[in-house]
Amino acid sequence: MERWSVQPRICCVEQFVLSKSIVSVQRDFRRKFGDDRQLGTAPSRKIIGQWVRQWRETGFVQVKARTRRNTVRSPENIQCVRIALERSPRRSVRRHSQLLNFSDRSVRRILHVDLHFHPYKLQIVEELTAAHKALRVRFCQQMVHTHANLGRFLIVSDEAIFSLNGSVSKQNCRYWAPTNPRQLHEAPLHSPQVVVWFAISAQGIIGPYFFEGDDGVSVTLNAEPYNHMLETFFLPEICRRNWNMARAWFQQDGATAHTARLSMNTLRSAFPRRLLSRFGDIHWPSNSPDLTAADFFFCGGI
């Protein structure tokens, strides 16, 4: 930032035109601006000479705006970065900068400022093979053409596992400090967990149900705890709410605890010929949690 504004410059040039003396200009400057702390002392002979030459050559004495040529973020280079990212979107910015012979900072500025690109993280999901997809399509077609009115009588169920010690995402957890505080988050190797079950239908929600023993400690989900939940919690709750058991359908996924002989016998007795499950009356396709409302209402928020 220039020390002297336009007005002091004009005064100095005008005084020099009248007196033809640098000393006279400096005296006049001190008399007019001596009390201004921002201006301070009078300008030197060299600076006054520069202002006079600038006025004679251009007719102006204002501060020249400094322009900076932007040679890296040119339209051609921006297009090169765009093409490189479209061809290899998973390649790191550092590697792109090496291949394009640009600085890492320039490539990042082009991505954020000019192209408005953002680094999105990949989501890890379970692989769906062609056979899985074919089973999904077959199931949806069967539900649309054969059981179009089943929705208001359908009860869908699912479980979710919660860690009792919580979890920390290293990507989102930060500690702001002037120096590295060496913060640590201690967690047990095998965190205690609890399995929560619930069911949802157009008539309401049943649950949540926590799989725990008599001592309140979480138990492993297998056929016996699952069947115990069906007989002592789920089916009595349906009767207590006066839901229409004669027309109700029940859905569960293909977990081992669900499809064990003990559990299937209980469900076939409660829902004869109205069971959506692996080995059920309507085959539930494997790896298909997103076909049910439970995935969006309950499991989708975990």
Contact predicate 78/107, CB 8 Å: no
Contact predicate 6/61, CB 8 Å: yes
Alpha-helical segments (H) within the chain:
6-19, 22-33, 45-58, 75-87, 93-100, 104-109, 130-145, 223-229, 235-240, 256-259, 261-270, 293-297
pLDDT at position 55: 85
Cβ atoms within 10 A of the Cβ of 97, count?
19
pLDDT band at 295 (very low <50, low <70, confident <90, very high): low
- 34/40 Cα distance (integer angstroms): 7
Mean pLDDT of 205-227: 84
Among 10, 2, 14, 3, which Cα is nearest to 36's? 3
Q: Where are the domains of the chain?
A: 6-58, 75-114, 130-164+192-301
Here the tokens at position 239 are 């009767």
pLDDT band at 90 (very low <50, low <70, confident <90, very high): confident
Three-state DSSP string of 100-158: HCCCHHHHHHHHHHHCCCCCCCCCCCCCCCHHHHHHHHHHHHHHHHCCCCCHHHEEEEE
**Is 269 a residue whose pLDDT tops 80?**
yes
In single-letter form, the type of residue at position 279 comes to F
- 266/72 Cα distance (integer angstroms): 71
Mean pLDDT of 168-190: 67
pLDDT tens track for 182-194:
777 666 667 777 8
pLDDT tens track for 22-41:
888 888 888 887 755 556 57
Core vs surface per residue 5-19: b (16+ CB within 10 A) or e: eeebbebbbebbeee
Q: What is the pTM of this model?
A: 0.52
Domain 130-164+192-301 - what CATH class?
alpha beta
pLDDT at position 230: 92
pLDDT band at 1 (very low <50, low <70, confident <90, very high): very low
pLDDT tens track for 37-85:
556 578 888 888 888 888 888 887 776 655 555 577 888 899 999 999 8
Mean pLDDT of 250-276: 89
Q: Phi then psi for 225, rounded to 5 degrees?
A: -60, -35
pLDDT at position 265: 92
**Is 97 a residue whose pLDDT tops 50?**
yes
Cα radius of gyration rounded to whole Å, the chain = 38
pLDDT band at 233 (very low <50, low <70, confident <90, very high): very high
pLDDT at position 41: 76
